[in-house]
Structure 1
C-alpha cells in the first residue's frame, strides 16, 4: 500500500519499528537426522546469507547502509546488525551516525530441537527500525517471502511525534488499521491471521499460521510414503500441536 506523503515542518522524528518472529517446523526421525537438520538450517541461514537479505531490505526501504556487523555462533545460530540512515552519510560525520543510531536492521536465528520428540523448530527474529520518512512496512512482503515460514508474529509500533507545517503534532504520518493492510493478497490467502491492536498507542500485532498442511513439507530427508499410517498420524499430530502452541502462545494438552 502506497503511503500518502504529508508536508512536515523540519525533521520527521517518528520512530517506526516492525518486528518479526518467524518459525519453521520440521520433524526428524532419528538423532542423526536431527543433527543433520541443525547443520542444514545453520548453513541455509548463516551470517553471510542473512547479511544479503538485510542489504536487500535496506535497498527496498530506500535506506543507506552505514555499518554492518555479523556473527555466526557455535554450536548454531547467527546474528546480523546493520546501521542505516535516511540520507547518505560521509565517514567523517561521526556525530550524524550517533544521531541516527535508532535506524537499524537486525536478525538473530535460533535452530533448536525438542529434548524428547523429533520436533525441530527454527526461529528467526528480525527488527526493522527507522527514524524519519523511511517506512519499514515497505520491507514486509520481501521478508515474508524470504523466509516462507509456518508461523509468523508481527509487531509494528510508531513512537514519538513530528509536526506538520502549521505546527500541529502528528503521532503517526500514515493511515493503518492493521498490518494485514500491507501484506500481499497472495500471502494473505495462504495464512490464517489474528490481529491484536492498540490503536490509541499506535501498536499493531498480527499472528499468522500457514493453512495448508502437507506432511512431506515437514519431514527432513524423508517422504511420507516411507512411513506407516500410524507413524504419519503421530508425526502430523506432533507437528500440528507445535504449530498451534506457537501460534496461540501457550502449552496445550496433547492432541488426539
Structure 2
C-alpha cells in the first residue's frame, strides 16, 4: 500500500508497539542479590526510564503532554507519558517508510498524541540464584507518526537478553473516496525495521498474522559470556564445575522465556 493515500479527515489508525524485555543474571548470596537489586534500581529507575521514553517521543515525532512516574517499594518503577501528534519535521526520512530507525547515538528529532508506558518487574528465584528482570513497554500512536521508528533505539537502550516484540495496527481510516484502509504502510515483519547490527546480535523468530495486521518477533541474544551475568563473584573465582552449572541454569532460564514454556532440567 502506498504512503500517499489522500485521507478524508484525520488518520484514525492506531499503531501499537509492545516490548517485553528480560535481563537475566546470577546472584546466589544475599549480598549478591542486594548488589543485583541496587543495579536494577539504578539502571531502571523512574528518572532514567523517563529519559529513555522522552527520547522515544522525540524519535517518533510527538510532543509530550504529561508525564507520570513512580518508583515503588521495595522494587520496580512505572512511567506513563501522554503524547500529541504534530507534523513530523527534521527527521530526514518518512516515519512510515519500511526501514530501520536511528540508534541511540544518532537521535536528532522533534516530536508531537497517544501514550508511552513502561512498568518494571524485578524478581529472584528463591533457591538457585537466578534473577530475572522484566520491563513491559508500550508505544501507542494515532495518525501518521509511527512507533516503529523507536524500535532500534529501545532495543539498544535497554540492551536485553531476551525481547518479545508485538506490533499491531488497529481500526481503519478512510480515503477521500470513502474507501476504508486498515493499514497505511507496507510491512511483512518487525525485523524489516531493525538494523543489520541488531539482526546479527539476536536469534529471532517471527509469528505473524498478516490478515489481522498483527506482527510478533521473539529475540534471544546470540553471544553468551558468563562474566556478564555474575554479581559479586567473577568467573575466575569459580571452579570449572561451578561455571558449567551456573551457565546451564542461566541458559535454561533464557530458553524457557524465549519459547514461553517450561522445559525439563538436565543434571
Report if TM-score (shorter chain) is over 0.5. yes
2:127 pairs with 1:116: yes
Instruction: Say whether the 8 Å CA contact 1:156–1:179 is kept in structure 2.
Output: yes
Q: Which residue of 1 aligns with 2:264?
A: 253
- Structure 2: tracts of 5 or more residues without a match: 88-112
State the distance in 2 between where 1:154 and 1:195 align.
10
Alignment of 1:175-214 (within 5 A): 175-214=186-225
Q: Which residue of 2 aligns with 1:45?
A: 44
- Deviation of 1:71 after TM superposition, in Å, equals 0.2
State the distance in 2 between where 1:255 and 1:128 align.
39
- Deviation of 1:5 after TM superposition, in Å, equals 4.2
Q: Which residue of 1 aligns with 2:246?
A: 235
3-state SS of paired residue (1:189): helix
Alignment of 1:1-256 (within 5 A): 4-87=3-86, 103-256=114-267
State the distance in 2 between where 1:6 and 1:39 align.
50
State the distance in 2 between where 1:6 and 1:186 align.
33
- Deviation of 1:111 after TM superposition, in Å, equals 1.0
State the distance in 2 between where 1:56 and 1:220 align.
30
The size of the alignment, in residue pairs, is 241
Q: Which residue of 1 aligns with 2:98?
A: none
Instruction: Say whether the 8 Å CA contact 2:61–2:86 is kept in structure 1.
Output: no
State the distance in 1 between where 2:44 and 2:116 align.
16
- Deviation of 1:30 after TM superposition, in Å, equals 1.2
- Deviation of 1:211 after TM superposition, in Å, equals 0.7
Instruction: Say whether the 8 Å CA contact 1:42–1:111 is kept in structure 2.
Output: no
Q: Which residue of 2 aligns with 1:93?
A: none
Relative to the length of structure 2, the TM-score reads 0.87
Instruction: State the Cα RMSD in Å.
Output: 1.4
CA deviations over 1:184-241 (Å, ceiling 9, x no partner):
1101001111111111110011000001111111111321121000100000000000
Alpha-carbon distance change, 200 to 234 in structure 1, aligned in 2, over 3 angstroms: same
State the distance in 1 between where 2:216 and 2:199 align.
15
- Deviation of 1:21 after TM superposition, in Å, equals 0.2
State the distance in 2 between where 1:71 and 1:150 align.
25
Instruction: Say whether the 8 Å CA contact 1:86–1:134 is kept in structure 2.
Output: yes
State the distance in 2 between where 1:5 and 1:110 align.
42
